[in-house]
Chain A
Amino acid sequence: MGTVILLTLTGLGLAALYFLVASGLSLVFGLADVLNFAHGLFLGVGAYATWWAAANLPGAGSDGFGFVLAVVFGVAAGTLVAVLVELVLIRPLYSRTIEQVLVTVGLSLAGVALLQATWGADARPFPRPDWTRQVTGILGAQVPNGGLLLIIAAVLVLGALLAFLRWTRYGLVIRAGVENREMVTALGIDVRKAFTLVFAIGGAAAALAGALGGVYFGTVSPGQGGSLLIFAFIVVVIGGMGSVVGSAYAAVAVGLLQQFVNYYGPSGLGDVCVVGLLAVVLLLRPQGIAGKVATA
């Protein structure tokens, strides 16, 4: 029983990480039709900025309020990079989908290489508060606190995103834009402002995932974002493009499946099963669990 609960909670921790990356990807794709390969870069920037801030920023540290400050700095850095990428690189290629994808591909290659050039290819130990290294006993299972922190953060982000999308004017514009972008434009609303906003939200969520993922794994390395990104893509496709709630469901399904199969089967089989799930969903329901039809 304890094992099942432990696996469930660590699976949910993984799901939280996937959700943080996938929610931004899904919104960006749903609204702007940009498949953002540079999303892993935002994650890397968030992780490295938090790591840097904990050691160098006055007032920030690896414990208590200082750590919160470091994470805030990391998220701000990720947001800033995301906004800059949208304004400088994506916006001039408005509505040329393939070129936008190509630019984000180039950016992901160059950006990761830049991180590697600056801080080296090896994983660095991540500064984390002492309590995240400990475990909490829940129903007989010893659950690492870092995973619980991720779950709480993801639930908060999910709640905040849904509230934002439901009750604010910009949320309305974004929801309408995912549904039918031409109509929103025709009504005289500058939908490109919403693009920037969505990039900022996605960048912030990915940077948070980077920072908290660093806490969870205990290290930070340039390639981290890339490997997470592929599973985030799978989550986006399963959940349905442009649907935050769909991403949340899909993230939970993928995280739990991966964790359980990897534990009970040979290591790595869980990752294969996730792709199998993707194939099944695509064959039975190409538009994903929720959201619009998954076409370009």
Chain B
Amino acid sequence: MTEVKSPEVPAPPAAVPAELTPERGRWHRVRPFLPLVALVLAVIVPYSTLPLPGIFEGPLNSPGTLQVLAVCLVFGGLAAGYDLLFGRTGMLSFGHALYFAAGVYGTDILVTKAGLPLWQAALLTVTGGTILAALLGAVALRTVGIAFAMVTLAFAQVGAILVARDFGGFTGGEEGLPLDVSGLPAGLVGVTNTVNLYWLALAYLALVVFVVHRVSSSPTGRVLAGLRDDERRIGVLGLDPYRYKLVAFTLAGGLAAAGGGVYCLIVGGASPHITSSELTLSMLVMVVLGGPGTRWGPVLGGVLYMYLDHRLTAFGSSDAVESLPAVLSRPLSQPLFVLGTLFILAVYFFPGGLASLTSRLTLLRRSLLPPSRR
């Protein structure tokens, strides 16, 4: 059989993909400093009295706004830590809320029930959370893929049961455990000192981003990326996937426990809803919305998710929504409905999340510009 060739169609020249050519734009030189600029801006936010009507209820430096921002920042850090598992190593853990809850309840119990000073409580909690993650990870990582997801989910469920049933009277059961503030440093107590908690949350976020960035650019991080892409190949190269995965799992667990300690200080106590599997699911939503495996995507996703979760509750009871027919207004008053729908749409239409938005917009701009100016 002879091959039929069409003579008039030459092969298109091999094009270098856009992401391989370094961008020579105005932003090129500024770019490495952007995170630093963002950090400085975030640090000086409490000095601004700028009112942002519609976005926050009070001016930027009011304690209410700062507390919302602090919670957002903690969850930004939490999502970045979770991304170490999901986006960078490809482990689908459904039990990450457990280590966060261990941090919250650990700090709370050690300060309130055992009367330890805060620094000792924090140190013990982070150590304990890390050890817990290492132990449970050692068992859970004997399975892979979906089975791993289910096992981590089951472990987290045990945490939720232990907290809710209140064995030994430590956790306060359904009512939660308010933090005893009498033993805390004075700078972290009271409405006027919310700004310190805000800075603490910001420091936590910066720490997580720094650690995740260092780990993922280290040789270990390359192995983790390899595990995500092709685990068998890593095994063939003579590296033990189990150990590397355990390292990532333990590290992420420790970071989550530290975040739990910060969260405990910000909201002033612990409540059982943070142990629910719903929290892990929302971490997954944060990472996917933001962009898994990117440096800033999960942070953005976490901050945005918590902000929306907070604001949508107010939005749902606003007049604009109330005046809609009941078919629309009732679902819209449920933040989880809006966020869940947004998440499904993101999975379909924005697989890279928010972080992929810039490259998508660049492509769009290029295709809209006339060819001569490209």
On A, residues with C-beta under 8 Å from B are 29, 33, 35, 37, 89, 92-93, 97-99, 101-103, 105-114, 116-118, 226, 230, 233-234, 236-237, 241, 266-268, 271-272, 275, 278-279, 282-283, 286, 294-296
Contact = CB atoms under 8 A, between A and B. Distances in A.
A90 B19 CA distance: 31
A35 B146 contact: yes
B339 interface: yes
Given A295-B147, A296-B144, A272 B158 contact: yes
B284 interface: yes
A229 to B, nearest CB: 9
B162 interface: yes
A117 B333 contact: yes
B92 A98 contact: yes
Main secondary structure of the interface of A (DSSP, over half): helix
Given A113-B340, A230-B154, A101 B277 contact: no
Nearest to B165: A268
B145 A271 contact: no
A116 B338 CA distance: 13
Contacts of A111: 340
Contact of A109 (B92, B142, B339, B348): B339
A275 B161 CA distance: 11
> What 3 A-B pairs have minimum CB-CB distances, sorted nearest first?
A296-B145, A110-B340, A268-B165
Given A103-B344, A268-B165, A268-B167, A233 B150 contact: yes
Contacts of A93: 347
A283 B142 contact: yes
B51 interface: no
Contact of A105 (B144, B161, B284, B331): B284
Interface in B154-172: 154-155, 157-158, 161-162, 164-165, 167
B278 interface: yes
Contact of B343 (A106, A241, A272): A106
Nearest to A34: B146
A268 B167 CA distance: 9
B356 interface: no
Contacts of B165: 266-268
Contacts of B362: none
Given A113-B335, A116-B334, A117-B333, 11 more contacts: A103-B347, A106-B347, A109-B336, A109-B337, A113-B340, A230-B277, A271-B157, A271-B158, A272-B158, A282-B151, A283-B139
A109 B281 contact: yes
Interface in B321-342: 330-331, 333-337, 339-341
B166 to A, nearest CB: 9
B145 A237 contact: no
Q: Which of B149, B161, B281, B347 has the most CB of A within 10 A?
A: B347
Contact of B158 (A37, A97, A275): A275
B157 A275 contact: yes
A113 B343 contact: no
A81 to B, nearest CB: 15
B334 A286 contact: no
Nearest to A102: B347
A57 B195 CA distance: 57
Nearest to A276: B158
Contacts of A105: 281, 284-285, 343
Contacts of A236: 150
Q: Binding site of B, secondary structure by majority: helix, strand, loop or mixed?
A: helix
The winner among A93, A106, A234, A282 for most chain B CB atoms within 10 A is A106
A54 B20 CA distance: 63
B143 interface: yes
Contact of B146 (A89, A97, A112, A116): A97
Nearest to A105: B281
A177 to B, nearest CB: 17
B347 A117 contact: no
A277 B285 CA distance: 30
6 contacts: A108-B281, A110-B343, A114-B334, A266-B165, A275-B158, A282-B147
Contacts of A37: 281
B285 A234 contact: no
B153 interface: yes
A62 to B, nearest CB: 26
Contacts of A109: 278, 281-282, 285, 336-337, 339-340, 343
Contacts of A241: 147
A244 B271 CA distance: 38
A118 B331 CA distance: 7
B202 interface: no
Interface in B254-289: 277-278, 281-282, 284-285, 288
Contacts of A102: 284, 288, 343, 347
Contact of B154 (A92, A107, A234): A234
Contacts of A230: 153-154, 157, 277
Contacts of B288: 102
Given A109-B285, A234-B154, A286-B142, A101 B278 contact: no
B202 to A, nearest CB: 28
Contacts of A33: 146
Contact of A233 (B153, B333, B336, B337): B153
Interface in B225-271: none
Contacts of B155: 275
Contacts of A295: 143-147
A114 B285 contact: no
Nearest to A231: B157
Contacts of A278: 151, 154
